[in-house]
Amino acid sequence: MEVKARVIKMARDAKDASKILAGLSARLKDEALRHMADSIEKRTEEILKENKKDLMVAEEKNLSRPMLERLTLNIDKVKEMAQGLRKVASIDDPVGEIVAGWKRPNGLQILKIRIPLGLVGIIYESRPDVTADSIGLCVKSGNSVLLRGGSESLNSNIIIAHTLARASEEKGIPKNCIQIVETSDREGVEIMFKLNEYIDVLIPRGGAELINLVKSESEVPVIETGIGNCHLYVDKDADLKMAIEICLNAKVQRPGVCNAIETLLVHKDIANKYLPQVYEKLRGYGVEIRGCIDTRRILKGSARKRIIKKATEEDWYNEFLDLILAVKVVDTLQEAIEHISRYGSKHSEAIITNNYLTAQEFLRQVDAAVVYVNASTRFTDGGEFGMGSEIGISTQKLHARGPMGLRELTTTKYIIFGNGQVRQ
Amino acid sequence: MEVKARVIKMARDAKDASKILAGLSARLKDEALRHMADSIEKRTEEILKENKKDLMVAEEKNLSRPMLERLTLNIDKVKEMAQGLRKVASIDDPVGEIVAGWKRPNGLQILKIRIPLGLVGIIYESRPDVTADSIGLCVKSGNSVLLRGGSESLNSNIIIAHTLARASEEKGIPKNCIQIVETSDREGVEIMFKLNEYIDVLIPRGGAELINLVKSESEVPVIETGIGNCHLYVDKDADLKMAIEICLNAKVQRPGVCNAIETLLVHKDIANKYLPQVYEKLRGYGVEIRGCIDTRRILKGSARKRIIKKATEEDWYNEFLDLILAVKVVDTLQEAIEHISRYGSKHSEAIITNNYLTAQEFLRQVDAAVVYVNASTRFTDGGEFGMGSEIGISTQKLHARGPMGLRELTTTKYIIFGNGQVRQ
């Protein structure tokens, strides 16, 4: 069968199977998830063998070091995948939740109940653990899943998906609920963009390029995740010690993730005092600064013979995902808010201040999924929010905004109990 | 200025203004809405004069009678628009609602709060009252609105929008929050499809053709509304008297709306008894039946010399919006559910039964925005649900499903209060 026909069949089969999956009890799904966790641990050796195949191709292709790191599995990583599945099994099932309910004067009883979306399509890049993670979240939320991973991790993805699919079937999850596109053909992904009839939502998990491709090409509704050009604004009324700790945490604790900061905005009144101190610390972690004119002037002394690079217009837009920080001195709170509005990606934004009015104004005016006062942006994460698990961070405004847990993989329907009501 | 540049400017201005509108109090917005209501009543004469212009053009163009009816305004209809605005003023403001809130072990206080979407684009057809209605809902929910109505009602739409915009400004709503595209150029609507940067959501209000155009062309997120191919399934365990009343209500009380039924499904065990009775009544209201083979056989006697037309494949898909009813006899509940799944538009579906298991099965398996037991589908409506007002019925699964009230015109953001937390 050609790729296109095969993907269509997978999607149709998965959608059909989703109708049965939607009605299964949390108990059955949780048992299946635990069995799935056991089964990938049992097959660790085979999984690592397949992963080796991917790594050999990757090395031939001279993939970058971070790419190779994301691609590499080992015993611990397989164990982590299994633990992830067990964790999802331990979270409350959102399906069947009665979101709202009321009785109308005519006696109609209206219930708004949470149900699965149906079939979720996931398009992702090099990390093979996304395979297990996505399958776990979809099974738990009662959705079938159609996976299309990156070509680099094809062998790893296939063995993980097949292992989990088989184990899930052994515990009563319908065959066909878990599907993986087994080629790295571009055709495979392009056909997914057109399958409105079967796929209820497409979620891209990966870098900006992938997300933009899916957003612009897909006719299936998309939930955007993850681009994070986040800012930290240090106000004139900030506790400078706190501002230093939070800046360090938000930049260096894990620079390659979407909730790390890319730009530091500093009020002019405290810039002379704060910037040299924070620079001293950042430099210790090897952070490169790209500054505005004022920043460069202020840091000239501290930098000694090093040169502080000039921040370009592009730098303000950039999600570096690396030990690079753009720094700008601003005259007012309003200038900081406007900078964020212009360059930010509406992900996570933080202010450090002890001024009540300033904090309120920042919270009100900044348009982002998550806005912080006196805390690190690194907390924008399903786990840190207490959701148990997440499928990504939505930076859009419809359906879901911020960390997306199981609940965001569902929709609702109204069910209405009557006893003969007709409309007047 | 050319059309394209003008629409872009409108959208940008409206988006800028929305940032101020978002922060206004419910009290100010409600006062503005009541003043807006007074102002269109005061200008009734001028509004009717502009409406006459539209009607003259429409008559020249030989528009259909239903089109002309939708287009025609009179004193009562203007009063209704004003009452609609007053009603919106009386509903609770969704903006600022704290949807959820909790404290994390590290002391972070997380609040999920409801905020306006920003700028809502409305693309609609011939009914000029949609202008006032959309403006009212958007102002109340704190959103700017960019309207693009049908060419037939251009003069009526413009005077209504301008009257309301002026009145809103007099009460402190920022200038530019209410914008209307003042040409019927196709260019005006096409440019809206591309304005992701400014427009947060596009809502088409009109027939299937309009909705499909917007859905397929728009790069701005769309909320689909309104196509309703709804079914009534009369089970073998139905109370036949109730089944007749509900069928009549759902078909003839107002056949031109999306929550009226288009197809009647009848269990074979009661078809011989039920169909002649319900046909007798339907015929009294001039309803044309298009039946399956069994339906035609059963009704042959009752129809006397009339011929019951054969239902074509197309008829099962059709939203007649008229006094036409497709009728099919089914062997089982499952056959009814599968028919609905295949041909329905996931809007509103009803079963008449006194069997507990059958009712539960129908509620569980039927995938639609609203599923009824023993009640008319005609209740799928914001007013009937007790939402006060609605902007349409969403038949999609993301963001909103079913009647969309003010709350569905909002999004949320997380605001987080910390005292120096950093991630471990």
pLDDT tens by residue, A4-29: 999 999 999 999 999 999 999 999 99
Q: Helix, strand, or coil here: B328? A: strand
Phi, psi of A307 (to 5 degrees): -105, 130
Nearest residue to B354 via CA among B237, B201, B231: B237
Chain A: closest CA distance from residue B116 (Å): 10
Mean pLDDT computed over A289-300:
95
Does residue B174 share a domain with residue B121? yes
Is the CB of B412 less than 8 angstroms away from the CB of A399? no
Dig out the tokens for B131 from the structure.
């202008």
Determine contact: A332 vs chain B, CB below 8 A: no
Dig out the tokens for A79 from the structure.
């164990």
> Which residues, other chains included, contact A245 with Cβ-Cβ below 8 Å and sequence gap of 6+?
B420, B422
Q: Looking at chain B, which residue has its C-alpha nearest residue A387?
A: B104
pLDDT of A219: 86
Is the CB of A221 less than 8 angstroms away from the CB of B398? yes
How many angstroms separate the most distant Cα atoms in chain A? 85
Q: Does residue A304 carry a pLDDT above 80?
A: no
CB B394 within 8 A of CB B227: no
Contacts of A397 in chain B (CB under 8 A): 117-118, 200-201, 221, 411
d(CA A128, CA A157): 5
d(CA B54, CA A222): 40
pLDDT of B303: 67
Chain B: closest CA distance from residue A67 (Å): 25
Dig out the tokens for A260 from the structure.
């790390």
Chain B: closest CA distance from residue A177 (Å): 17
Asked whether residue A394 is assigned to any structural domain, the reply reads no
Q: Does residue B104 carry a pLDDT above 80?
A: yes
Contacts of A369 in chain B (CB under 8 A): 413-414
Nearest residue to B403 via CA among B137, B36, B207: B137
pLDDT of A305: 66
Contacts of B242 in chain A (CB under 8 A): 420
Q: Helix, strand, or coil here: A176? A: coil
pLDDT of B187: 85
Asked whether residue A322 is assigned to any structural domain, the reply reads yes
Dig out the tokens for A15 from the structure.
């959608």
Q: Domain residues for B97?
A: 3-225+399-417
Chain B: closest CA distance from residue A197 (Å): 11
Does residue A244 share a domain with residue A101? no
pLDDT, mean over chain A: 94
Q: How many other C-beta atoms can be found within 10 angstroms of the C-beta atom of residue B338?
A: 13
d(CA B60, CA B48): 18
Mean pLDDT computed over A78-96:
95
Determine contact: B242 vs chain A, CB below 8 A: yes
Chain B: closest CA distance from residue A24 (Å): 11
The H or E element that residue B10 is part of is helix B3-21
Does residue A195 share a domain with residue A171? yes
Pairing of strands A402-404, A392-394: antiparallel
pLDDT of B310: 96
d(CA B168, CA A292): 42
Instruction: Give ∠ CA A259-A264-A266 in degrees, rounded to 5.
Output: 145
Which of residues 23 through 52 in chain A touch B, CB cutoff 8 A?
23
pLDDT of B199: 97
Q: How many other C-beta atoms can be found within 10 angstroms of the C-beta atom of residue B306?
A: 12
Minimum-distance CB partner of B374 among A223, A242, A419: A419
d(CA B244, CA A342): 60
Q: Does residue A394 carry a pLDDT above 80?
A: yes
pLDDT of A184: 77
pLDDT band at A420 (very low <50, low <70, confident <90, very high): very high
Nearest residue to A264 via CA among A377, A357, A380, A363: A377
CB B397 within 8 A of CB A118: yes
Asked whether residue A423 is assigned to any structural domain, the reply reads no
pLDDT band at A105 (very low <50, low <70, confident <90, very high): very high
Domain count for chain A:
2
Nearest residue to B406 via CA among B137, B151, B199: B137
Is the CB of B416 less than 8 angstroms away from the CB of A379? yes
Determine contact: B99 vs chain A, CB below 8 A: no
pLDDT of B29: 98
d(CA A38, CA A40): 6
* Cα atoms in the Cβ-side hemisphere of radius 13 Å centred on A64: 4
Least confident of A198-202, A229-233, B126-130, B370-374: B126-130
Is the CB of A364 less than 8 angstroms away from the CB of B23? yes
Determine contact: B20 vs chain A, CB below 8 A: no
Minimum-distance CB partner of B108 among A379, A415, A417: A379
Asked whether residue A392 is assigned to any structural domain, the reply reads no
Determine contact: B356 vs chain A, CB below 8 A: no
Place of tokens 């993986």: A180
pTM of the full predicted structure?
A: 0.91
C-alpha A402: how far from its chain's center? Answer: 9
pLDDT of A148: 95
The DSSP secondary structure of A284-350, one letter per residue, reads HTTPEEEE-HHHHHHHTTTTTTS-PEEPPHHHHH----SSEEEEEEESSHHHHHHHHHHH--SSEEE
Percent of chain A having pLDDT more than 90? 84
Which of residues 169 through 208 in chain A touch B, CB cutoff 8 A?
200-201
For A237-287, the pLDDT digits (tens) are 999 999 999 999 999 999 988 999 999 999 999 999 999 999 999 999 999
Is the CB of A414 less than 8 angstroms away from the CB of B397? no
Mean pLDDT computed over B182-208:
89
Does residue B253 share a domain with residue B197? no
Nearest residue to A94 via CA among A408, A416, A391, A403: A408
Q: Does residue A374 carry a pLDDT above 80?
A: yes
Dig out the tokens for A4 from the structure.
């296109």
How many angstroms separate the most distant Cα atoms in chain B? 85
Asked whether residue A424 is assigned to any structural domain, the reply reads no
CB A289 within 8 A of CB A308: yes
Percent of chain B having pLDDT more than 90? 84
Mean pLDDT computed over B141-158:
95
The H or E element that residue A145 is part of is strand A144-148
Chain B: closest CA distance from residue A242 (Å): 6
Asked whether residue B407 is assigned to any structural domain, the reply reads yes
CB A386 within 8 A of CB B102: yes
Nearest residue to A94 via CA among A406, A399, A383: A406
CB A271 within 8 A of CB A304: no
Does residue A113 share a domain with residue A57? yes
Contacts of A239 in chain B (CB under 8 A): 420
Does residue B185 share a domain with residue B113? yes
Mean pLDDT computed over A32-61:
96
Does residue B301 share a domain with residue B176? no
Place of tokens 């709804």: B230
Q: Helix, strand, or coil here: A64? A: coil
Q: Which DSSP category does B320 fall into? A: -
Chain B: closest CA distance from residue A71 (Å): 25
Write the CATH number for A289.
3.40.309.10
Residue A218 vs residues A346, A352, A394: alpha-carbon distances, Å: 22, 39, 17
d(CA B151, CA B148): 9
Does residue B380 share a domain with residue B292? yes
Contacts of A250 in chain B (CB under 8 A): 422
For B21-51, the pLDDT digits (tens) are 999 999 999 999 999 999 999 999 999 999 9
pLDDT, mean over chain B: 94
Does residue A197 share a domain with residue A254? no
Phi, psi of B66 (to 5 degrees): -60, -35
Mean pLDDT computed over A301-328:
90
Chain A: closest CA distance from residue B396 (Å): 9
From start to end of B230-323, where are the E strands? Answer: 230-234, 261-267, 288-291, 309-310
- The conformational region for residue A68 under phi > 0 = left, psi -120 to 50 = alpha, else beta, is alpha
Does residue A182 share a domain with residue A88? yes
d(CA A108, CA B380): 12
Determine contact: A306 vs chain B, CB below 8 A: no
pLDDT of B305: 65
Does residue A190 share a domain with residue A257? no
pLDDT of B209: 87
Asked whether residue A111 is assigned to any structural domain, the reply reads yes
For chain B, state the CA radius of gyration: 24
Place of tokens 């009020």: A267
Q: How many residues does chain A have?
A: 424
Mean pLDDT computed over A201-207:
90
The DSSP secondary structure of B83-112, one letter per residue, reads HHHHHHHHSPP-TT-EEEEEE-TTS-EEEE
Identify any residues that bridge with A309 across adjacent strands, giving them in sequence order.
Answer: A290
Phi, psi of A190 (to 5 degrees): -65, -35
Mean pLDDT computed over B311-331:
96
Mean pLDDT computed over A379-388:
91
CB pairs < 8 Å spanning A and B: 178
Q: How many other C-beta atoms can be found within 10 angstroms of the C-beta atom of residue A338?
A: 13
Instruction: Give ∠ CA B168-B174-B179 in degrees, rounded to 5.
Output: 75
For A119-163, the pLDDT digits (tens) are 999 999 878 999 999 999 999 999 999 999 999 999 999 999 999
The DSSP secondary structure of B362-376, one letter per residue, reads HHHH--SSEEEEEE-
Asked whether residue A422 is assigned to any structural domain, the reply reads no
Q: Does residue A407 carry a pLDDT above 70?
A: yes
Minimum-distance CB partner of A401 among B201, B363, B412: B412
For B259-290, the pLDDT digits (tens) are 999 999 999 999 999 999 999 999 999 999 99
Cβ density class B169-193: b for 16+ within 10 Å, e for less = eebebbebbbbbbbeebeebbebbb
Q: Does residue B372 carry a pLDDT above 80?
A: yes
CB B246 within 8 A of CB A422: yes
Write the CATH number for A110.
3.40.605.10
Does residue B171 share a domain with residue B118? yes
Q: Looking at chain A, which residue has its C-alpha nearest residue B238?
A: A420
Is the CB of A420 less than 8 angstroms away from the CB of B375? yes
d(CA A101, CA B14): 36
